[in-house]
Amino acid sequence: MPRYAIKIEYHGKPFVGWQRQTELTSVQGCIETALGILEEDHLGIQGAGRTDAGVHATGQVAHLDMATDWEPFRLSEALNFHLKPKPISIIACARVDDSFHARFTATERTYHFRLIARRAPVTHDEGLVWQVRKPLNLAAMQAGANYLLGRHDFTTFRSTICQADSPDRTLDELSITEHSVAGGTEYNFKIRARSFLHNQVRSFIGTLEHVGSGSWQPSRVHDALSAKDRSACGTVCPPHGLYLTHVKYPTDPFAKNVGN
């Protein structure tokens, strides 16, 4: 059976998250329903990461096996046709070796988070950013973020229902930039690691917002990390500013299929 990798973007608002759930609308479930129209006995897909309800993606990756030898462009076009009008789009499709696994072959995942500080309600970006009312201190937030870099026990920053075997993870990047927007400032967080714990990124951002607002000193992030206690975490931020933007593999499966 030929194997394909697909790159997916989606708006997370209508979904309970990536993972298939009985009688609930998920991104995985919608794509598998579309695949079932193309091949009745299709076995399903495997994604690179399980985004939570409300989280978006511009670079989610999944792999799937087909009984028919599809031309990648035609497969992506067929899927996009049957996914309408749901806010899910297959933006690239490529034939891959049978050894490729969207989750286990991945060497790195990158998330971005958008936070806007302004008093007036957002309109065009509603549901796509987290909005706070007061400006934040970028330098203080970056100072706090720097304590999180490297390999640590991230018990403080993972959900109490996280199913990972270990809280130990290596955080390779947590960088923050800012730029002016109408009526305020947008802060962009880039978070990069091989893998993440449940709610880890949202716990980071909510905690760093406390630092940026002046409620916490940057050094308190180090204290929270060292506590290895979920109760030491700051607020877990809402999901709608979070995007899975890139999944890295030893060899880019889409490199020869740009634009299909």
- Residues assigned a catalytic role: 52
Nearest to 138 by CA among 172, 83, 188, 203: 188
Question: Rounded distance, CA 241 to CA 127, Å?
Answer: 7
* Cβ 94 vs Cβ 258: under 8 Å: no
CA 203 to chain centre: 13
Residue 49 Cα distances to 82, 220, 256, angstroms: 23, 30, 23
CA 147 to chain centre: 22
Do you find a cis peptide bond into 87, omega within 30 degrees of 0?
Answer: no
Q: Which two tokens stand for residue 100?
A: 């490729």
Residue 232 Cα distances to 18, 56, 156, 226, angstroms: 28, 27, 6, 9
